[in-house]
Amino acid sequence: MRHTRLAIALCAFFLTATHAQQVVQRGALGTPGAVMDETQQWTAPFSVAADKQLEIFIPDVSTNAWLQLNYAQYQSRGTYSLTFFTHYRNEEACRRNQILWGLGDAQHLNACIDISYRMHGALIDTAAKSVTLQSAAMVDPDGNILPDSTQQPNTFRTWDQLDPITLTAIKKANDIVAKQMATYDRKIRNTH
């Protein structure tokens, strides 16, 4: 419960900032050079899936701060919070995503000229093989959240309900998290 409240609080922080909250620092060719993680720290992004139109990144899940934040819930329930950053390689990918979110009107589709990323805050349940999308926002080319695009959908999906690229991203992220949690667990046990 504490973990869920913390995840919601972090999502709310990202999504309710009155100023343009920066969550992505641009790198070479528009890809992210750094992304904000759930602990409000800049970390190196890691690519977990890609196709011709988009690439999905996660923050560095090997930092002590991220592992501390997620460790107890991961050990007891098999859940953890993670932010996914989708980099749109072209406007068509953004438009396709807008339509999937029910934002297919001209205003939202034309906004894709100024959108480079979509940020998704998710709660991953490894035991149930499910994901709950807790927050989402579009991000401009400078890495700032577009305040009018923020959503808190609380959408639940099992892994078999995800599109292929999202499923690939979730599975790869989950494999990375599992390895990092095992390493962190050994580290904790050796210090006690």
pLDDT in tens, the chain (192 residues): 545 444 444 444 454 444 679 999 988 887 899 999 999 999 999 999 999 999 999 999 999 999 999 999 999 999 999 999 999 999 999 998 888 767 789 988 998 898 999 999 999 999 999 999 999 999 998 999 988 888 888 889 999 999 899 999 999 999 999 999 999 999 998 876
Rounded to 10 degrees, the C-alpha dihedral 31/36/38/40 comes to: 170
Helix spans in the chain (H): 2-16, 64-77, 91-100, 106-110, 164-191
Q: Amino acid identity, residue 54?
A: L
pTM of the predicted model as reported, rounded to 2 decimal places? 0.86
- For 118, left (φ over 0), alpha (ψ -120 to 50), or beta? beta
Smallest CA-to-CA distance from 66 within 192, 176, 189 is with: 176
Q: Amino acid identity, residue 187?
A: K
Query: For 27, phi and psi rounded to 5 degrees?
Result: -115, -160
Centre a 10 Å sphere on the Cβ of residue 148 and count the other Cβ atoms it contains.
10
